[in-house]
Amino acid sequence: MKDTSIAGIGEFSGKTVTLEGWLYNRRGSKKLQFLQIRDGSGTIQAVVALADVGEELFELASGLNQEASLRVTGEVKPDDRAPSGFEMLVSGIELVADSVDYPISPKDHGVDFLLENRHLWLRSSKQHALMRIRGTLISALREFFDKEGYLLVDAPIFTPSSVEGTTTLFEVEYFGDKAYLTQSGQLYMEAAAAAHGKVYCFGPTFRAEKSKTRRHLTEFWMLEPEIAFANLDDVMEIQEQMLEFVTAKVLAKHRDELERVLERDCTPLEKVKAPFPRVHYDEAIAMLKEKGQDLEWGGDFGGEDETILTKAFDRPIFVHRFPAAIKAFYMAPDPEDLKYSLSVDCLAPEGYGEIIGGGQRADNLEYLQERIAEHNLPSGPYEWYLDLRRYGSFPHAGFGIGIERTLAWLTGRQHIRECIPFPRLMHRIQP
Ligand code: ATP
């Protein structure tokens, strides 16, 4: 392995170095070949001149296939037009392994074909940018919670019971018993919050929803903080600070990839500054009715409703106090009016819709027992959860932010399937 990376090539200006990578693209004439070399850290143009390298090497360069792996040696020269700021004047090429008939050419392919070839599609420039921004988003989220004094506590993936009923769960056989893949780590974080105060988990979650929308995956990643002695207002404040922090990090590190590679207009992202508008559920219903949406008080919002709501604002918004009847059993009721719950969704602007769901948790034992019965949930598996209300119950609140939906909004993608390395959809589990 060589130490030189394309991202760090500036250090070697004027020097001769060897790069290891793949041929992204090639064009040229009988005397000059322009190789686009990528190594994961970046892309650089390597210029091969017949006059400099002689016939044998020039012939090798002229016959190189897309995605062949290479070691390329040459002098690094500044070039203002190049995205990396440099190009390379080639003096040597070693073909590591050929790549014959690479299926993804620079021409347009249908999305099914690309998803079929996801293992290769990841190398394309837009997909490369998306995964890099995903990495930054995750590390910025973790940085935010770590610096604010939260402890990372991992939640289990196999669970004996569901968070919200079993209809949207993947059931697995567990040594002769039934278990489910987790759909949220929240209940476990509530236990952890009683031990550590401020905690979060980060991991994959699974939903067997038969949703074929651009916002639903069957496996997605979620970061879920839970905070002891926090209320609904506190979690709204934490969410807006968090989104302001991570958006600024993504912009600082990836503006060029966003604008040049993904063609994302960054102006709306610059407006992601606290405070975000807070819209009561009733106000949201009134706004939607005014826009001609056919929905009654008491219903949940569909994707189109969320799109309409977000288009009225220039930054993310909070919709709070959904009717208790449409929210999970653990949501705290609003003491001012028990029809409402102390719940909140954060909707991303530009039509993206819900990226975060959360709220204050019910901390009264009898209330929770009634709600569990009302929801027809078996009480046995929740006894441990109810213990948290038996032994030093405490007001607490938290939320879950979906990584793929947040990334789709930040990067301006239409569909969240490009926002995870290997998407799992209702009709896709390959590759
Ligand atoms: P929706 O109503 O849009 O299906 P939800 O209300 O079930 O979502 P929550 O249970 O509140 O979502 O989950 C918290 C967050 O997890 C959501 O805001 C979203 O970012 C993400 N999320 C939920 N379901 C999915 C999914 N199927 N695919 C991708 N992300 C999801």
Instruction: Please tell me the distance between residue 291's alpha carbon and the centre of ligand 1 in angstroms.
Output: 25
Write a three-state SS string for 344-409.
EEEEECCCCEEEEEEEEECCCHHHHHHHHHHCCCCCHHHHHHHHHHHCCCCCEEEEEEEHHHHHHH
Which H or E element spans position 158?
A: strand 158-159
Tell me the Ramachandran region of residue 377: left when phi exceeds 0, alpha when psi lies from -120 to 50, beta otherwise.
Answer: beta
Q: What are the extents of the domains in the chain?
A: 6-97, 118-419
Are 121 and 112 a contacting pair, CB within 8 Å? no
Instruction: Please tell me the distance between residue 300's alpha carbon and the centre of ligand 1 in angstroms.
Output: 13
Whole-prediction pTM? 0.95
Q: Tell me if 314 CB under 6 Å of ligand 1.
A: no
Taking only the tens place, the pLDDT of each residue in 379-424 is 788 999 999 999 999 999 999 999 999 999 999 999 999 999 999 9
Q: Tell me if 355 CB under 6 Å of ligand 1.
A: yes
Nearest CA to ligand 1 atom 4: 216
DSSP H stretches of helix in 148-280: 186-196, 232-256, 267-270
pLDDT of residue 81: 86
Instruction: Please tell me the distance between residue 402's alpha carbon and the centre of ligand 1 in angstroms.
Output: 7
Are 412 and 214 a contacting pair, CB within 8 Å? no
Taking only the tens place, the pLDDT of each residue in 228-245 is 999 999 999 999 999 999
Taking only the tens place, the pLDDT of each residue in 138-182 is 999 999 999 999 999 999 999 986 656 667 899 999 999 889 999
Q: Tell me if 402 CB under 6 Å of ligand 1.
A: yes
Instruction: Please tell me the distance between residue 233's alpha carbon and the centre of ligand 1 in angstroms.
Output: 21
Q: Tell me if 323 CB under 6 Å of ligand 1.
A: no
The domain 118-419 is placed in CATH, from the list 1.10.3720.10, 2.40.110.20, 2.70.150.10, 3.30.930.10, at 3.30.930.10
Q: What is the number of the ligand 1 atom nearest to the C-alpha of 405?
A: 20
CATH number of 6-97: 2.40.50.140
Instruction: Please tell me the distance between residue 408's alpha carbon and the centre of ligand 1 in angstroms.
Output: 13
Residue 55 has pLDDT above 80, yes or no: yes
Instruction: Please tell me the distance between residue 357's alpha carbon and the centre of ligand 1 in angstroms.
Output: 7
Residue 80 has pLDDT above 60, yes or no: yes
Q: Tell me if 220 CB under 6 Å of ligand 1.
A: yes
Query: Quick one: pLDDT band at residue 107, thresholds 50, 70, 90?
Result: confident
With tokens 């979690």, the residue in question is: 235
pLDDT of residue 166: 65
Inter-CA distances, 408 with 242, 345, 354, 420, Å: 17, 17, 11, 10
Instruction: Please tell me the distance between residue 401's alpha carbon and the centre of ligand 1 in angstroms.
Output: 8
What values do phi and psi take at 292, rounded to 5? 90, 10
Spatial separation of the C-alpha atoms in residues 379 and 61, rounded to whole Å: 69
Spatial separation of the C-alpha atoms in residues 53 and 340, rounded to whole Å: 75
Three-state SS for 44? strand
pLDDT of residue 163: 55
Of 173, 164, 119, 168, the C-alpha closest to 426 is 168
Q: Do the domains spanning 6-97 and 118-419 agree at the CATH topology level?
A: no
What values do phi and psi take at 237, rounded to 5? -65, -40
Instruction: Please tell me the distance between residue 58's alpha carbon and the centre of ligand 1 in angstroms.
Output: 54
What values do phi and psi take at 149, rounded to 5? 85, 20
β partners of residue 205: 220
Q: Tell me if 316 CB under 6 Å of ligand 1.
A: no
- Which of 186, 301, 320, 354 is the pocket-test mutation for ligand 1 (most atoms within 8 Å of CB)? 354
- Which of 405, 416, 419 is the pocket-test mutation for ligand 1 (most atoms within 8 Å of CB)? 405
Inter-CA distances, 13 with 7, 39, 42, 75, Å: 12, 18, 16, 8
With tokens 């005014």, the residue in question is: 290
Residue 211 has pLDDT above 80, yes or no: no
Residue 76 has pLDDT above 90, yes or no: yes
Taking only the tens place, the pLDDT of each residue in 249-292 is 999 999 999 999 999 999 999 999 999 999 999 999 999 999 99
Q: Tell me if 320 CB under 6 Å of ligand 1.
A: no
β partners of residue 167: none
